[in-house]
Each structure stands twice: as C-alpha cells, then as structure tokens.
Amino acid sequence: MTTIAFIGAGSVVFTQGLLADLFGLELGPLEIRLHDIDPERLGTAAAAAAYIAREHDVTPQITTHLERRAALDGADFVINIVQVGMNAATHVDFDIPARYGLRQTIGDTLGVGGVFRALRTFPVLRGLADDIKEVCPDAWLLNYTNPMVMNVWYLKALGVRNVVGLCHSVYWTMQGLSELVGVPYDDVTYLAAGVNHQSWVLRFERGRENLYDRLDEAIATDPELLRRVRVDMYRRLGFYPTETSEHSSEYVPWYLGHTSEVERLRLPVGAYLDIVAENLATYEQTRNALKSGNPVEVEPTMEYAPQIIHSIVTGTPRTVYANVPNTGLISNLQSGAVVEVPSLVDASGIQPTAVGDLPSQCAALNRSYLNVAELTVQAALTEDPRAIRQAVMLDPATAGTLPVEQIWSLCNDLVLAHHNYLDPPLRAVLR
C-alpha cells in the first residue's frame, strides 16, 4: 500500500485538486493521511476526500490526524501545503509595507513579503523535518509551500534526504505561449531553467521551427501585449520568464516603484489579498456543500505531485520541472542554491537534468533573487536578526523603493507584528 501524508490538508481547495488527480491514476491500494492543526478545516478536508473517492469509484483508506507525527509515521510521500498564519498574516505582510509606500502584488516569493513568510514558516518546517528524519526518513517530501526556494533550501540544510519543490508555473506558461503563437501544446518542445517563479524559456520550438519568431510576430501585431510585464522583460532580456506578470514585477526594481509603470503595465497592487478572499469564500462554499450533501465541483489540477508519485510507484517515466539543490545543474548560479530544472522521474526517484550556463543577463537576475533567499535562510540557521534586514536590503524591488533606514524600520515593524511565529532570536528590534 502506498501511503501519502498531506501536511496542511486544511488548504481544502488545493487538497481536493491533488486528490482528484491521485484518484484518477492507477496507483493500487492507497492510504491517505490528512493532517491539519485546525479541526474544522481537517474535518472538511476529510469529507472532501471521501466525496472525491466516491466520485472516482475508488476506496482508499482515509484517516485524519491533528498530531503531525502520526500522519507521517511510515509514509512513502509527504505533500506539504501549510500556510503559517493564514489570511491574517498575509494581510500584515501587505498592510505594513504599504504604509511605507512599498507596493506588492503577490508577496509570497521574494521581497519583504516573501522574507517574512519564510521566517514564520521555518519553525514549522524544522518540526516537520525532525519528524520525517525520525519516522519516515526515506519518504519523498513534495513541497508546495511558498516561498519555494527559501523553504526547500532550508529543508535541505536541515538534512531532509528526499525533498523537492513543485510549482506549475513552467507548465502553464508554456500552455499560454502555445496558445499565443497558435501551435498546439502537444506539438511544442521547450526547455526552461532558472529559479522558481523566475525561470527562463531557453528553447521554444516545433520541430526545427523557432517559435520565438511567432511570438515576436504576435507582439508586433497586438500592442496590448506590450502592456504585460513578462512581454516587457522578454523584449529587453531576450528570454521569456515563466511566471505571471504580477509575480515577475516583484523580483526586479523596474516596475512597482514607479507609478507610471504600474499604470502602463496594469499591475494589480495587492492582488493576492483578492485571491485570499476568493479562497476563503471557496472553502466556505465547499464546507457548506459537503455538510448539506450537495455536489462539489472538483477540477483536475495537472499538478506534478500526483505525477511524481505515479512515476515512482509504477516506474512510468516522465519529465517534470522540479526545484532542487544546485549541484552543478546550472553552472553560473550559486552551488547549493535551489534551482528549477527539468527532471526525469521513474522508479528510482527524481533525477534533475544539468542545463549548463544560463544566458548571462538571466543568471544575473537569478543571482540577485538567490542572494535574498540565501540571507533569509542564513538568518534562520545562524539565528542572526541582522541577516533579515540584510536580505531585505538586497531585495531588488524593496531597495528600488525605500532608503535603507526605512527598510530597517519596516523590518522592525514586521518582526513585532509576526513575533509569535518567529524563532525567539529573530524577534529582536534593531536600530
């Protein structure tokens, strides 16, 4: 029997999609263990899991666990989807920086929002890592929790043997680009590499045809495309970035700090707060429907975790994009940093592909991103509160907006607001 533990299963909408994918695959006997610290959300997740199993005519063993270690004991796969602090903490990450005039759109990957999301997540990840090393050391930890690079880097530093970060951005970017150039996705071949939410489409082809030529034609004939951050970055850098314009705008100093660019590129400042509200409404609708016995619509996700589990369990080979430590995979990025590369998956596990050098301009931007991530991880590992401020000082979007004195003041305010979630040595207010 294959045992899969969901950590943070109370993220019900995401849990539902992953379960729908899993139950649609031929995996043999399954045990699904759902863990969350919120009893109501855990109960809703269990009801949703049972409903989806009935819809797929499968009979997995489904158990719920308020205690994490029981859910992990002997597991083959662990899917991490925790969000520490939930909606209230997310609002803090947006509201306090906004008082300083700092704009954010998503705030979950880099920037001050990403840094503090990581710092409040690390203590939970440390407990998760300790449990995995003791009760399921050979399990594959499939991490979806953002900030992806910082979290996977930290988990690897803690000694988790098999950890990989998963994100759908490359897949959906290539779906969108294929549609934009009028070529069926199944006819397209591509190669992307970089860091999570800032990888680069290095090759985009159909047979021997370079589809970048078609993309250039599409941009030339549709002026509205010029009002997308990703298109603007592609025109100037020569390679298309693999995350949405909202995300991409946060990792560089050129856009959010300038009102004219926010307007030109139609950047939705604070967009993630709308997503948070929508997710909460969807959760409540799902909970109420399950309680009343009404049908629940669950869409397949095409996420990588179910595909990876299927490949490892059955030996079916497939390629996914994975976030893994850089062991020479991208030769002009920092060794040991977490990078995003195509990876073969089969019965032997996940085998990342070495890509070599990125184009210099792309690697330079990735290194700026990784500098912030590295200092954030080091702040936690060395318990150094100064490293928090140094990470935010090096963040391109923050440094492009605020003077250094205000950056330190902003960090102090966020430390005070999030102090219950932070490790005690990191709660210091520094002048």
Residues annotated as catalytic (active site), given as ranges: 168
The helix/strand count (H/E) of the chain reads as 17, 13
Contact 77, 32 (CB under 8 A): no
Residue with tokens 């702040």: 379
> Alpha-carbon Rg of the chain, whole angstroms?
21
- Nearest of 104, 141, 412 to residue 276 by alpha carbon: 104
Contact 12, 283 (CB under 8 A): yes
Contact 179, 192 (CB under 8 A): no
Count of Cβ atoms closer than 10 Å to residue 203 Cβ: 12
Distance CA 387, CA 374 (A): 10
297: exposed, middle or buried (Cβ count in 10 Å: 0-12, 13-18, 19+): exposed
- The length of the chain is 431
Q: How far is CA 352 from the centre of its chain?
A: 18
Amino acid at 214: R
336: exposed, middle or buried (Cβ count in 10 Å: 0-12, 13-18, 19+): middle
- Nearest of 307, 256, 281, 333 to residue 140 by alpha carbon: 307
